[in-house]
Chain A
Amino acid sequence: MGNSEIVISDEELDILQEVMNIAFGKASAALAEIIDIYVVLSIPDIRLMKTEEVPGYIEAEINDFKNISVIKQNYTGKFHGSALLFFPGGAGKKLFPLFDSDQAAAPESESLDFVPEKETLLEVGNILIGASVSKVAELLDDEVSYRPPRIIVESRPGDIVDWDLAEPEGPAILMRTVFSFDNRDISGLLFLIPSYKSFEWLKKALHAFLEQYE
């Protein structure tokens, strides 16, 4: 982990963990409100690592996915960075009928070239990423704006992140959770990767969050 220990303290990590727990909970509730699905969440995992280690870590995490769909959305504010949502191939096809009750069954195509599946994943990504990032911003007294989400079919996830957000040799914070969609046999991985440039603000904001309860 190198010099990452000096970037954020254990106490700050604990606060961030709780903030992410609330934010990811909000995201699952937001999705469940829109489509009739029960979202099961894993415990948020916060990891500090060197930026150069991020691609390898993400690749290992999605190793079980033969094909992947990636929804990527950048957010800007005092809290700014990238959100990446990974789904296994075919997830769009499974989720599409939930958004369109007129569709008795999704098309047979496994390809993401079929627009409704792609649109479905973009919409799911938009909801999950938007709800989690906005909740973090709200809890930490910030306001964020979003770049349009993009869907990427990419075999090397490490190439997807905007590396200009972080110092190549610097530290990165990865916030990860697993969303499982009950009865749909689909799991997605959501990563929030704040920019190194927002670390200083993030640390202060985390302390301010806890101080309101002291």
Chain B
Amino acid sequence: MIEKILIVDDSPVSRKIMKSCMPEDKGYEMFEAGDGQSGIDKYQQFKPDLTFMDLTMPVMDGMQALQQIIKIDPKAVVVVCTADVQMKTIFKVMNLGALMVVRKPVSKQAIEDALRKAEDKLKNINE
């Protein structure tokens, strides 16, 4: 079950949009990070059930951060949110262990689909 969600995105506007698309009745505990390195730090600190990861970020990009998080926790559930929807980008992040890719700008529907898929993944991990 998803209780804690980490959003890693350098744009405060994008983080705000992401949060606004979350179902209000679920009461998720939300954490935010503004770059890949900070995302890894927050991941280790809060152990979120689900991480939404942007790709183009300062300090450390989302591709590297995803790689590091999966290395730290191979069972990490990471959804990549990006405007860069080149097929090669999608293949790369899926190969690195992302659960799925959500295209920016995100919609409520896309976030709900991601949450559902993440719940299924977590269920499988815990079984």
Contacts and interface: CB of A to CB of B under 8 A. Distances in A.
A14 B86 contact: no
Interface in A1-59: 14-15, 17-18, 21-26, 28-29, 32-33, 38-39, 41-43
B20 A17 contact: no
Secondary structure at the B interface, as helix, strand, loop or mixed, is: loop
Interface in B42-59: 56-58
Given A21-B104, A43-B10, A43-B58, A213 B83 contact: no
A23 B84 CA distance: 9
Given A14-B11, A18-B14, A21-B56, A41 B105 contact: no
A28 B11 contact: no
B87 interface: yes
B37 interface: no
Contacts of B16: 210, 213
A21 B62 CA distance: 14
Contacts of B10: 43
B13 A14 contact: yes
Given A29-B85, A41-B56, A139-B105, A214 B11 contact: no
A25 B62 CA distance: 14
A108 B104 CA distance: 41
B12 interface: yes
A214 B16 CA distance: 9
Contact of B105 (A17, A22, A32, A33): A22
A3 B10 CA distance: 27
Contact of B83 (A14, A26, A33, A38): A26
Nearest to B83: A25
Interface string B22-58: 0000000000000000000000000000000000111
Interface string A59-76: 000000000000000000
A26 B105 CA distance: 11
A57 B30 CA distance: 40
Nearest to B106: A213
Nearest to A39: B86
B17 interface: yes
Contact of A17 (B13, B17, B57, B84): B13
A139 B104 CA distance: 11
Nearest to A17: B11
Q: Name the 10 nearest CB pairs between A and B, nearest first.
A: A25-B83, A213-B20, A32-B86, A18-B13, A22-B83, A25-B84, A18-B11, A38-B88, A213-B17, A29-B85
21 contacts: A15-B13, A18-B11, A21-B56, A21-B83, A22-B105, A24-B83, A25-B82, A25-B104, A26-B83, A26-B85, A28-B84, A28-B86, A29-B84, A32-B88, A38-B88, A41-B56, A139-B105, A210-B17, A213-B16, A213-B20, A214-B20
Given A22-B83, A210-B17, A213-B20, 6 more contacts: A15-B13, A17-B13, A21-B104, A22-B104, A25-B83, A25-B104
